[in-house]
Amino acid sequence: MKQLLILIIILSNLNLFGQDLTIINKNVDFADSLNYNKEIRIYRTSGMTNYTGIFRFYQDNKEKWRAELINHYAIIPNQKEFRIEKRKLKSKRKMDLVWLEILKTNIQDLPNMTDIDWKLKKEPVIQDMNGEKVLSWKKNLILDGDGYYVHFRQGKYFNRVYYSNPESYLRIYKNVDELVYFNELLNLIRTEFGVWK
């Protein structure tokens, strides 16, 4: 019962403070779908704030690579409208090489974090509950921090995933491949483009 109550609190907080990506895309003049054959968008939300950062990296129709960071601040009380800051980015290495490095992180095949939830359980215990034996698992919950929505396209291959606090969870669950790969993606973006350090 206690775990159910915690889950309800978490989900209600996500609904209260989360931002709708469709609205954000409209505000920054993006289509909801990825229109370029090689494109990745990473939406970063920070805790219970009105901030969403959008990293976008793509090859346009003329096969020119482009990268940008958009900081989106949603409407809050006493603020008349949302605020957007845009910045073009350059990578340290050639952008076609950076794209290959992105592919090395397996982002095209990574599942959602909810699909690996079973890997984030540890120390199973059989307990007595109201006269019955039940199995329970320990799991660490990180309630505040950064969440990342990733939208990826390479030709006909699409993937959309969400990871909550992947860096914090990797410190706890060091051998979960999906967390390792996702953090490699984030570290690559930080190193190559100097964002979200």
Which residue type sits at 67? A
pLDDT tens track for 150-185: 999 999 999 999 999 999 999 999 999 999 999 999
Separation in Å, CA 171 to CA 120, 165, 178: 12, 10, 13
- Could you tell me the pTM of the whole model? 0.83
Sequence spans of domains, the chain: 2-193
pLDDT class of 10 with cuts at 50, 70, 90 = very low
pLDDT tens track for 43-61: 999 877 788 999 999 999 9
Q: Give residues with Cβ within 8 angstroms of 25, minimum separation 6.
A: 31, 32
Q: Give the residue from 61, 65, 52, 64 showing the smallest Cα distance to 26.
A: 52
What is the per-residue pLDDT for 16? 35
